[in-house]
Structure 1
Amino acid sequence: MYKKLLSETVIYGIGAILPRVIIFLLNPFYTEYFDGTEEFAKFVNLYALISFVNILLTFGFETAFFRFSAEKENITKTFNTAYIFLGLNALAFLLLVLSFNQPIANALEYANNPEYITWFAWIAFFDTLCVIPFAWLRFNNKPIKYSAVRVTQSLLQTGLILALFLWIPKSISATMGLTEKVSFPFFSNVIGSIIGFLLLLPIALKVKFEFDVSLFKRMIKYSWPIMLAGFAFMINENLDKAIQRYLIPESDAGAYGGSYKLAVLMTLFVTAYRMGIEPFFFKQMQDKNAQLTYARVTEYFVIVASIIALGIIGNVDWLKSLFIRKEEYWVAVDIVPIVVIANLFFGVYYNLSTWYKVTDRTRVGTYISWIGAIITLLLNIILLPIYGFMVSAWATLAAYFAMMLVSYYLGQKYYPIPYKTRKIIFYLSLTILFSVISYVIFDANYWVGNLLLLIFVGIIYFIERKSLQQNEN
């Protein structure tokens, strides 16, 4: 079972990670070709805003799809009901934005570029239409098809970005309304979203106009707290980048956004893990050993995620030179270790959140998520103008740490899972200690960082060797 989960997670990871890796690899390209950190701040800000829109349009129905598809008698009804609802939701949003395009652009301080708002409306529309087909592939154990669509979509989108920057004459791109370089990735994203929808069209065409009202009521009751929790997550993840340009110099906001991309390496792993683990959790919920399985999976996650976190932190010094070519962005590179550890905590929290999803207590998950969001809001709004962008990184860390602790406490109260808590705390504490030694005490020396990484792996092998031998036997 664990081997199958690992193999599917790796395949899902290709589909989930490769598009983000491409975006990550484009980071030095953007920092090179955009006209300064101010333009990069505009780029980051708009993508932060669209993430909030996606949460609203999907309404938590991806997780609801997994939950109610686990009821075998409702598999088809869940697919049809979920797709019809999200399709109507996306269409209403698209029509609304297209009708009030200029006022929205004025309100968001993009009065001179209302086309950005139009493009993002189309991106959100097509991405929402793809949510349930992608979920269908994941639930039906089709990771290769899932990844094939994601990778094809991403490669074609990236090809268009490079063509606009390097080969298509400005005279031609200008006729398409692409007058600024920052518009190139936005326009390419529209085309990529359309391509993704076309590739998933065979699944979308499986939809029958069968809208089960009673099932929809159950799904809404289950999913709306997840949507609210999603807003809270987006606040934790993107609020800093969305509001920094209003509270600190735009050049600092751009440097923060550029340096933040290095921490995405950790986010990529957590995202790949989530792709495979979410349907797995729901399929295991009826098993008598489900809680033991959840505990083991969490332990394995902590081990692997801690190794990856140390690997990133130990090599920040040369990674910044490779992926952030302009030194004007390096002023914010010290946020990377903090954000990496924050995402490690978020990954642990995601494992701990299983209890409220499988027990239909999603409302509790909303409360937990908003505890983190409130921490993020208060720290950024109060301290960001005073102490600068480092506040945003520490706020993210504090938010995810608090969510992790609260979820563990409530989970053990309402749905006890036999986690090996002492071992998990030991691994997390050792990861933080080694990170401080390599990055702070030895000033991000990669020789020290990688030596400590090897020591950490050795300690894990010494502790886990008996379990490894048992699994081999």
Structure 2
Amino acid sequence: MSNLKKLAGQTAVYGLSSILGRSINFLLIMVYTAYLSKEEVGSYTSIYALIGFLNIIFTYGMETTFFRFSTGKNLDPAKVFNTTQSLLLTSSLLLGTGLYLGAPYLAEWMDYPGQAYLFRWTALLLTFDAVLAIPFAKLRLENKALVFAGAKILNILLNVGFNLLLIIGFPYLIGLDTIPADFLGYKIEWGVEYILLANLFANGLIVPFVWWKAGMFKFQLDGEIIRPMWKYSIPLLFMGLAGVTNELISRLLFEYILPDNFYPGFNSREAAGVFGANFKLAILMNLVIQAFKYAAEPFFFKQSNDKNSPQLYATVMHAFIIFCTLLMIAISANLNWIGPLFLRKPGYEEGLFIVPMLLMGYLLLGVYFNLSIWFKITDKTNYSFWITLTGAIVTLLVIWILVPIWGYLGAALATFTCYFLMALICYLYGQKYYPIPYQTGRGVFYMFLAFAVSYLAFFLKLPQPFINFLAKNSLILIYILVVLALEKDRIKTYLKPKSSL
């Protein structure tokens, strides 16, 4: 129990930064859907999907590799930090320069003619992200959760502040003739440009602070460390590429695969904006998973040598499923008011029905993260590549086949199907090479029940708004009662006083 309490405490701190920070950041979708056109929101969706994909290439699995070599390889942690950070700094500068120079070609390929500057800024943003990755990982490894959380929240606040200034503040002041229309080179017609610039400014400003708090590094490229690290990280790189394909490719390709005039009144890029905005609502599940991941990854590695670790991993998984299924139902039951609150212009509500499907997809991603501990602590990371490659192939096939037929639903099914298959394959191989006593039957039952209840709550419509609200949310209480009835013996065990002997 002490280990679980420690994990829960660290998850709460990381969750504070992740949930508070991303909740603040999440509010930006209100700004984008209110002040930008659907086409601009579509551009934001596709460009940030590309950034998510390239971010994996820029960091190539080095965060997980850093944890593994700092905790379980009998190496000097300081030397590992110096080597890892030096390697990432060198590679990110080379990759960033290549992307910067190739920006005009990328702009043409993605149908942004004359806007190469968007992808030059993308190169700078990716470079900043890469050189921050290992210092942030070091803070997590050293259990400096409060410093980590503070830096993340500062970054989010800066990003939100710059967004509000550039998208709302400057146009308002220009309208009042308080500042000239071309103040500091401001261009009133820009939209997605200011989203990128705000993110770029925010990330650049926190680099010195994070480096200082993590401890300055000595430039050092130790071949004896790099060679085994590289061998460990290469499968993680391909896993990451396949994984981000699974997560982001639907948003990146949606506008290019959707047939013209599929949705009356919307062109393909505008429809991609509707899809991307509704996808953002599902991030409420993803941010919980991210907070859990921040705390759990170093925790899992540190517990790997304990003989009781398999039981601990199983208990963590079970608690994770219960919490996330409850969250899924709560969000789905309240989408009728959450949706219009954040998606400010008419038309976005057409995609709300895919949100419960996406929430379930993210929950399965969290299950996969829990399951993946077996290949990380047994150094069988090559399995991660094949599992995520299978997921990526399935994602592409489902998108290619179903988006032209079912539009938004086809893209959401790609996310759901991919993570379901990845979790299933990872579970089967994990039980073969590193058996963990998961409560599989009960966990699957909770997920199936929660998925059904989520859609029941979403589609339930009673004539009186207040009665409708009570009826939808009463389903949350019913689900809690079911869980309590099934978990009563385990709860009694946890609440039983410890013997003084």
Range class of TM-score, shorter chain: over 0.9
Distance 2:411 2:379 in 1: 33
What pairs with 1:214-293 in structure 2 (closer than 5 Å)? 214-248=224-258, 249-293=268-312
Distance 2:452 2:215 in 1: 53
Distance 1:217 1:446 in 2: 58
Q: 1:122 matched to which residue of 2? A: 124
- Do 1:435 and 1:449's aligned partners in 2 also have CA atoms closer than 8 Å? no
Distance 2:313 2:98 in 1: 43
Query: Gaps spanning 5+ residues in structure 1: where?
Result: none
What pairs with 1:23-42 in structure 2 (closer than 5 Å)? 23-35=25-37, 37-42=38-43
2:340 maps to which of 321, 325, 330: 321
Distance 1:295 1:204 in 2: 32
Distance 2:160 2:454 in 1: 34
Amino acid at match of 2:367: V
Distance 1:421 1:98 in 2: 48
Amino acid at match of 2:426: S
- 1:351 deviates by 0.6
SS of corresponding position for 2:289: helix
Query: Identity over aligned residues, as a percent?
Result: 35
Deviation digits for residues 49-82 of structure 1, max 9, x if unmatched?
A: 0111100010100000111111353312221111
Which deviates more, 55-64 or 419-428? 419-428
Which deviates more, 330-339 or 166-175? 166-175
Which deviates more, 196-205 or 406-415? 196-205
Deviation digits for residues 128-170 of structure 1, max 9, x if unmatched?
A: 0000000000000011000000101111221111111232256
Which deviates more, 447-456 or 190-199? 447-456
Q: 2:111 matched to which residue of 1? A: 109
When normalised by structure 1's length, the TM-score is 0.96
Distance 2:189 2:33 in 1: 18
Query: Gaps spanning 5+ residues in structure 2: where?
Result: 175-180, 259-267
Q: 1:408 matched to which residue of 2? A: 427
Q: 1:308 matched to which residue of 2? A: 327
- 1:179 deviates by 4.5
SS of corresponding position for 1:209: coil
Q: 2:54 matched to which residue of 1? A: 53
2:454 maps to which of 428, 435, 441: 435
- Correspondence 1:191 to 2:193: no
In structure 2, relative to structure 1, the CA distance for the partners of 1:238 and 1:152 (3 Å cut) is same
Amino acid at match of 1:426: F
Distance 1:118 1:401 in 2: 36
Amino acid at match of 2:44: F
- 1:387 deviates by 2.4
Distance 1:85 1:177 in 2: 38
Distance 1:431 1:397 in 2: 15
SS of corresponding position for 1:416: coil
Distance 1:205 1:121 in 2: 26
Distance 2:390 2:469 in 1: 36
When normalised by structure 2's length, the TM-score is 0.91
Q: Number of matched residues?
A: 472
Q: 1:63 matched to which residue of 2? A: 64
- Correspondence 1:380 to 2:392: no
Amino acid at match of 1:449: K
In structure 2, relative to structure 1, the CA distance for the partners of 1:298 and 1:10 (3 Å cut) is same
Amino acid at match of 1:341: M
- 1:205 deviates by 5.3
- Do 2:107 and 2:116's aligned partners in 1 also have CA atoms closer than 8 Å? yes
2:77 maps to which of 64, 75, 78: 75
Which deviates more, 301-310 or 198-207? 198-207
Distance 1:424 1:383 in 2: 29
